[in-house]
Amino acid sequence: MNKASNIDDTYRNCDPEQPLTADDERYVDLAESRGTPQIARSITRNISRSNNDTYLQLLFTGHRGSGKTTELFRLKRELENHKFFTIYLDIEETIDLGSLSYLDVLIAIAKQVQISLHEADMPISEVLLDSIATWFAERIIVDDTQTAHEAKISTKAEAGIKIPFFKLFADLTANIKAASSRRETIRINLKREISVFIQKLNTLIGEARQTVQNNNYKDLVIIVDGLEKMHYELNEEGQSSHSELFVRHAEQLRSPACHIIYTVPVSLAYNQNLGADFDDIKVLPMVKTNERGIQQLVNVVEQRVDIGAVFETRELLEELARTSGGVVRDLMRLIRMSTDTDSEKISQKEISDAINTLKKQYDRLIRNDDIENFKQIVQTRRVQADESFSRLLNLRLILEYENGERWASLHPVIHEIDWVSEALSDIHH
Residue 1 domain flag:
no
* 21 in a structural domain: no
* Pair 421, 55: CB distance under 8 Å: no
Assess if residue 128 is contained within a domain: yes
pLDDT at 353: 96
Predicted structure pTM score: 0.86
In a domain, 90, yes or no: yes
- Give the domain-ending residue among 284, 319, 345: 284
Question: In the structure, what pLDDT confidence band is assigned to residue 159 with cuts at 50, 70 and 90?
Answer: very low
Q: Is 400 helix (H, G, I), strand (E, B) or coil?
A: strand
Q: What is the pLDDT of residue 148?
A: 47
Give the range with max mean pLDDT: 17-21, 104-108, 151-155, 318-322.
318-322
Residue 22: inside a domain:
no
Specify if 31 maps to a domain: no
Give every CB contact of residue 237 below 8 A, 6+ residues apart in sequence: none
The answer on pLDDT for 224 being more than 90 is yes
Residues 127 and 218 in one domain: yes
**Whether residues 329 and 185 fall in one domain:** no
pLDDT score, position 422: 93
More confident residue, 139 or 1: 139
Q: Indicate the residue among 320, 348, 363 that finishes a domain.
A: 363
Range of the domain at 95: 37-284
Whether residue 186 sits in one domain with residue 49: yes
User: What pLDDT is recorded for position 142?
Assistant: 61
Average pLDDT over residues 374-384: 91
Q: Is residue 32 part of a domain?
A: no
Q: List the Cα angle 9/12/18 in 5-degree steps.
A: 150
Q: Are residues 342 and 406 in the same domain?
A: no
Q: What is the mean pLDDT of residues 370-379?
A: 94
**The pLDDT of residue 163:** 60
Whether 25 is in a domain gets the answer no
Residue 332 sits at the vertex; the CA angle it makes with 321 and 423, to the nearest 5 degrees, is 55
C-alpha to C-alpha distance for 414 and 397, rounded to whole angstroms: 7
- At residue 179, the pLDDT reads 64
pLDDT at 280 over 90: no
Q: How confident is the model at residue 271 (pLDDT cuts 50, 70, 90)?
A: low
**What pLDDT digit, counting tens, does each position of 171-193 carry?**
777 777 776 677 888 888 889 99
Domain termination site, one of 228, 253, 284? 284
Which of 50-59, 142-151, 304-313 has the least mean pLDDT? Answer: 142-151
pLDDT of residue 354: 96
Q: How far apart are CA 7 and CA 277, in angstroms?
A: 49
Q: Output the domain CATH number for residue 245.
A: 3.40.50
Mean pLDDT of the chain: 87
Please give the residue that has the higher pLDDT: either 240 or 146: 240
Provide the strand spans (E) within 265-405.
280-284, 398-402
Alpha carbons 359 and 414: distance in angstroms, whole number: 7
**Residue 160: per-residue pLDDT:** 46
Contacts of 5 (CB under 8 A, 6+ apart): 306, 309, 310
Task: Grade residue 402 by pLDDT with cuts at 50, 70 and 90.
Answer: confident
The torsion angles phi and psi of 330, rounded to 5 degrees, stand at -65, -35
